[in-house]
Amino acid sequence: MNTKVTLEELKSQMPFNIGKPNDGFAQYFSGKSFLEPLSTEQVKIFNVTFESGCRNNWHIHHAK
């Protein structure tokens, strides 16, 4: 069974625009992510969308 969702299918399900490829932070993800600004006024607010199977490598939790 193929569980991957196409970008077009994802766009049709999202309440916000998906945005542009998040190339500036690509090093932190194992797949593609997209960044859409919702507000750039006093406080910057962005919507981040991840393609199916994308993993976040932002930080590591070391075992104790």
Q: What is the pLDDT of residues 3-57, one digit of tens each?
A: 677 777 877 877 888 889 999 988 888 889 999 999 989 999 999 888 888 888 7
CB 55 within 8 A of CB 29: yes
> How many other CB atoms are there within 10 angstroms of residue 33's CB atom?
20
Q: Are 37 and 19 in contact (CB under 8 A)?
A: yes
The Cα–Cα gap between 52 and 32 comes to 9
Q: What is the pTM of this model?
A: 0.64
Structural domain boundaries of the chain?
A: 7-50
Predicted local confidence at residue 38, as pLDDT: 92
Q: Return d(Cα 35, Cα 47) in angstroms, integer.
A: 6
